[in-house]
Amino acid sequence: MDQKRVLLIIGGGIAAYKAPELVRQLKAQGLATRCLLTAAAEQFVSPLSLASVSGDKVYENLFDLTDEAEMGHIQLSRDADMILVAPATADLIAKMAQGLANDLASTALLATDKPVMIAPAMNVRMWEHAATQRNLAQLAEDGIGIIGPDEGDMACGEFGLGRMSEPAEIAQAAKAMLAQTPARDTPLTAAKPLAGRKILVTAGPTYEPIDPVRYIANRSSGKQGYALAEALAALGANVHLVSGPTALNDPKNVTTKRVETARQMLDACTACLPVDAAIMAAAVADWRPAEAQEAKIKKTKSGLDDLKLVENPDILATLSGHASQRPQLVVGFAAETNDIENYAREKLARKKCDWIVANDVSQNSGIAGGVMGGDDNQVHILSATQTLQWETMSKTAVAAKLAAHIADYFAATKEHE
């Protein structure tokens, strides 16, 4: 089999100094690497050092007469099996999202028909900015792989999300993406790793009516589930989203069914079967009033009568235990406030699902504004054989990474069929 080839585009951030080590790690994964430097990146790493570790010419200038006589920017993107952008600065991410092409890097990116992965790196405030998050959401929708960023100390003296993922982790992710690509010269549109897979996603809270005015609910915004639905669709899946009440717009390229109560959500989920995977991100109310009143309950001097509650149907357990149409992969979510991993592990066994995505939704989670309703998340992924703990990142980035993890699961399953 031909050696897979990576075009490494190095953006102009301080993390560019890690580029030579990234090239070494890519080579350790058996990947040939050709480097493309932006003008700003040359301030942090030299073309000579990159040429030495890659064993190939380093490309820098869109208007190099020799290269452009051969349409160099086109050939660069065609010769590679994938393009990796690391570090992906806020500027490069914005150019990619808007389709700009005013230098060699952005032109090669716009000209490619191969898989693309980015490793963002920037100041925490730049990462959190609404414009950056919009651009990342657009890239996820376009099928761009996203790894990181990580949380930690930054060169600017601040602490938070924005550090580029470590070179070894990026190289492993690049190899995993290439493993999902059918063959050299296969267009990206035909190389969606989840193409042909039908996936059910639930999101948001449920509202359990007490009377026509009041209801029992929780603080879920639906942001994580909606982001996941979009990320799965970007990888080619036929996604059906069953959503409780939210203020969010329907995700693009996703079939969305809106419901209100847990019983309605269960009915919508079972009507969607069969599916290849069920990702249960909704925060379903555990209980509901035994009887919803037809008229508004009035306040009286004697106070409110006891409110009798009954247990709602368990949607996750129902799908995990379905006798004839159990999805191949069932993923539950666990919103906990303490002892996260132990409670999640217990839930994994009790619900008989395949994975649990657990997070800390307490006020002590360390996430600004809290997880519920906020834009960031920090999750643990538990299965019967392993526990993964991801750094704090945006919900969009969590969704992209989890969607890639799901794609890896199906790719591995297919290899063993």
List alpha helices for 180-256, DSSP H: 223-234
Q: Tokens 């993964």 sit at which residue?
A: 388
- pLDDT at residue 341 greater than cutoff 80: yes
Q: Which residue(s) pair with 151 in the sheet?
A: 161
Instruction: Please tell me the predicted confidence (pLDDT) of residue 387.
Output: 92
Q: What percent of the chain has pLDDT over 90?
A: 55
Domains of the chain by start residue, with CATH: 5-190 (3.40.50.1950), 198-415 (3.40.50.10300)
- pLDDT at residue 347 greater than cutoff 50: yes
pLDDT tens readout for residues 360-369 = 888 776 676 6
Residues 288, 168: Cα–Cα separation, whole Å:
48
Segment 261-281 mean pLDDT:
97
- pLDDT at residue 27 greater than cutoff 70: yes
Segment 293-306 mean pLDDT:
83
Residues 359, 95: Cα–Cα separation, whole Å:
33
3-class DSSP assignment, residue 8: strand
Confidence of residue 190 (pLDDT cuts 50, 70, 90): very low
List Cα–Cα distances, 17 to 23, 43, 49, 126, in angstroms: 11, 9, 10, 20
Residues 60, 328: Cα–Cα separation, whole Å:
47
Establish whether 156 is a catalytic residue: yes
Q: Which residue has the higher pLDDT, 94 or 183?
A: 94
Confidence of residue 72 (pLDDT cuts 50, 70, 90): low
Strands 277-280 and 198-203: parallel
- pLDDT at residue 64 greater than cutoff 80: no
pLDDT tens readout for residues 15-24 = 999 999 999 9
Residues 204, 206: Cα–Cα separation, whole Å:
7
Of the candidate ranges 180-189, 268-277, 320-329, 405-414, the one whose mean pLDDT is the lowest: 180-189
Instruction: Please tell me the predicted confidence (pLDDT) of residue 82.
Output: 93
Strands 393-394 and 376-377: antiparallel
Confidence of residue 185 (pLDDT cuts 50, 70, 90): very low
Q: Which residue has the higher pLDDT, 192 or 150?
A: 150
Instruction: Please tell me the predicted confidence (pLDDT) of residue 302.
Output: 77
* Active-site residue, from 156, 269, 272, 353: 156
Q: Which residue has the higher pLDDT, 181 or 11?
A: 11
Residues 124, 282: Cα–Cα separation, whole Å:
29
Segment 315-336 mean pLDDT:
95
- pLDDT at residue 262 greater than cutoff 90: yes
Segment 297-326 mean pLDDT:
90
The contacts of residue 154 (CB under 8 Å, 6+ apart) are 123, 124, 160, 162, 163
Of the candidate ranges 58-72, 210-224, 242-256, the one whose mean pLDDT is the lowest: 58-72
* Mean pLDDT of the chain, nearest integer: 87
- pLDDT at residue 41 greater than cutoff 50: yes
The one-character DSSP state at 118 is E
Confidence of residue 298 (pLDDT cuts 50, 70, 90): confident
The contacts of residue 34 (CB under 8 Å, 6+ apart) are 5, 6, 7, 8, 54, 56, 57, 59, 76, 79, 80
Instruction: Please tell me the predicted confidence (pLDDT) of residue 69.
Output: 46
- pLDDT at residue 159 greater than cutoff 80: no
- pLDDT at residue 71 greater than cutoff 90: no
